[in-house]
Structure 1
Amino acid sequence: MKVFSSTCTFDYSWDEVSTANWRKYCPWNDKATHVVGVDTLSRTVDPKTGILRTERLITCDQSVPQWVISLFGGSPTSHVYEVSYVDPVSKKVTMCSTNLTWSNVLNVRETVVYRPSPLSPNATTEFTQEAQITALCGGWQKIKNKVEEASVERFRENAKRGREGFETVLEMSRRVFGEQRDLEKQLQ
């Protein structure tokens, strides 16, 4: 197993980030064009804690090398199962996802957390991301290590694009919803 981890700070409040998170795969995000569908499977609120739990199925068109499809079968379309928890009291969003497609060859378990930055809790949000990547190639340790290392590198590149795309969504959300709030104030 190999682990990828990353942290960054978004210059947006937790309220903005936790709201924009649901728009992460919208048309504004030109870095997420591979996401072709997001289906909400269930959504519940715990009456005692107020925690919103959401299960989603994310469908992607990946650029899979033809030799991989020839060797293992399948198609470039893949599915990811995501469970998220939004805790409005502690101001924490936790998202856990795992690949459903190719999981018999490569298992990726990702956890993402958004929480207010302790340095500036009303203005910035900390983002932490960790992915545990395990190749399931039987007893061939050298091949397994190479597959895991290549997967971590690809994950690193995709994570960078994902953060850039989310910045675009955050900026657009602030602009659009800031204008909406301004209009609402004028109408009052």
Structure 2
Amino acid sequence: MKIFSNVHEFDYSWDEVSVANWRKYGPWNNKTEHVIGVDTLSRSIDPSTNILRTERLITCKQTAPQWVRTFLGSQDESLVYEVSYVDPAAKKVTMCSQNMTWSDLLSVQETVVYTSNRTVPGKTMFEQQAKIIALCGGWQKIKNTIEDLTVERFRQNAARGREGFERVLAISREVFKEQREQRQRREMAA
């Protein structure tokens, strides 16, 4: 088993980050072209805690190397199951995902948490952790190699993902600013 961890501070408020999070796989993010579909399976609010729970199925273009796809079966798409929890009282978004494609050979369990930075207002902390376990039989050296390669790919994708999400945040801020200014102009004209 290998662990990938990543921490980052976004220069955006938790409110901005928690709203933009739902747009991170959309057209504003040029770093997620591999995501070809996001289907919401269920969404509910716990009346006692006000926590929003969402289940989604994310469909991606397969990014495994060609030799792996040839060896394991050439699938063009991969599936990821995600459950997220938005807690507005605690200003916390928690997203847990698990690969479904090739999960009998490799398990990738990722947890992402966005929290309001309590010491620096207007900033949001991002914590990411992935647990990667090669489940294929055989020698430990092969399992270690598969896990190491997966961790490296995760590291590369995390950097691209952060860059893309920064773009989504910047565009979101600009769009909301324009909408606010338009609303103010309409109110002044009325």
| TM-score interval, smaller chain | over 0.9
Name the counterpart of 1:166.
165
Identity of aligned residues (%): 64
1:153 and 2:152 aligned? yes
Q: Write the distance in 2 (CA, Å) between the matches of 1:32 and 1:66.
A: 20
Task: State the Cα distance separating 1:64 from its structure 2 match.
Answer: 2.5
Partner of 1:81: 81
* AA matched with 1:29: N
- CA contact under 8 A between 1:64 and 1:76: conserved in structure 2? no
CA-atom RMSD, angstroms?
1.0
In the TM superposition, what is the alpha-carbon distance from 1:118 to its structure 2 partner? 2.3
Tell me what 1:25 maps to: 25
* Offset at residue 137 of structure 1 (A): 1.9
TM-score where L is the length of structure 1: 0.97
Distance 1:131 1:86 in 2: 20
Aligned letter for 1:34?
H
Q: Which residue of 2 aligns with 1:96?
A: 96
CA contact (8 A) 1:112 1:127 kept: yes
Secondary structure of residue in 2 paired with 1:28: coil
Mapped partners of 1:113, 1:177: distance in 2: 24
| Distance in 2 of aligned mates of 1:67 and 1:108 | 20
Query: How far 1:76 moved relative to its partner?
Result: 2.6
C-alpha distance in 1 between matches for 2:76 and 2:64: 6
Aligned-pair CA distance for 1:178: 1.3
Per-residue deviation, 1:28: 1.2
1:181 and 1:143 map into 2 onto residues whose CA distance is 56
What displacement does 1:120 show?
Answer: 1.2
Deviation at 1:37, TM superposition (A): 0.4
Q: Which runs of 4+ in 1 moved over 6 A?
A: none
Gaps of 5+ in 2: none
Residue correspondences, number: 187
- CA–CA distance in structure 2, aligned partners of residues 63 and 90 of structure 1: 36
The code of the aligned residue for 1:62 comes to: Q
Q: Does 1:132 align with 2:131?
A: yes
Q: TM-score by structure 2 length?
A: 0.96
Q: Which amino acid aligns with 2:153?
A: R
AA in 1 matched with 2:134: A
